[in-house]
Amino acid sequence: MQIIENTILKEKVYIEKLENGLTIMVIPKKGALKKYVMFATNFGSIDNHFVLPSSNEEITIPDGVAHFLEHKMFEQKNGTNSLDTLTELGVNPNAYTTTDHTAYLYECTDNFYPALDELMDYVQNPYFTDENVEKEKGIIGQEINMYEDDPGWQVYMNTMKLMYKNNPINIDIAGSIESISKIDKDVLYNAYNTFYQLSNMVFVACGDFEVEQFVEEVKKRITKNEKINEIKRIYPDEPLEIVSQNKEIVMEVNNPIFCIGFKDSANLNCNIIKKQIAIDILLYMLLGKSSQAYQKLYKNGDIISQPDLDYEFSKQYAHVLISGTSRNPR
């Protein structure tokens, strides 16, 4: 078992990789009342072109499959919904999809192990039918329409489209009404069987745990131990140049909102955490509340509050984002 220790924070992370490829990470917190777990897979919205491990066939799936799959994972063969089951246990469950991963999680003070039974059961045993997939399209369609009416999300997505020509990060995580109409149970099973293999997943727990005992508890609840071939993802080449410099749309807002993007090369050969911290420091030096630029913009009434300053990155993209509200966004 690998141990990563931070002597300043006096914390340790215990990492064990099982024979089936699953990575388990435990952060013990002696005396903590709350426990937190996450079961995640390295599969997000940008993973839409890959080789099927079962047939070696190259396929492209519709936009929004990772998010659609996340929604459908809770529905069980016996007619129950795992989200309801977990809530009835008194735990706080959730799930989310990003560009590069999907995660299922919960936090609780009581009923931890009954909830762990449910979490590991539904993530390892999907149940898709023509009927339940069709029903979900209406629900996700409403979510897509909701985001289309969200000015903040529209500004963000337009920034992605201005920066990225080919990278699928310029596609909405939930897809579109048209793209989700092409999703069926076979598409979902293909994506699940490719990306929800344990060697592509990680299980993280934080709380008052005896590490080795907890790892054994996770092992007992693993129902699929087969190790499948390496996942072959196919990504388009992306130029470093941007697509276009600006775009403006009209929506109902009290004050104009803006997002400025700086495209970076997706270079993970460097120390990416050190790079992220350095860029965060630079951004706050340039536009944080104590900066000269912020003070000048604020006094002139050009900016209402400190902008959001972010550096987003993965193996396939990297960029700086500066976003906020301004009476004079240009």
Active site residues: 70
- What CA–CA distance (Å, rounded) separates 34 from 110? 8
Of 216, 229, 140, nearest in space to 177 by CA: 140
Q: For residue 64, give Cα distances in angstroms to 97, 136, 171, 211.
A: 10, 12, 9, 37
**Around Cβ 145, how many Cβ atoms within 10 Å?**
11
Q: For residue 202, give Cα distances in angstroms to 38, 102, 105, 312.
A: 8, 11, 12, 21
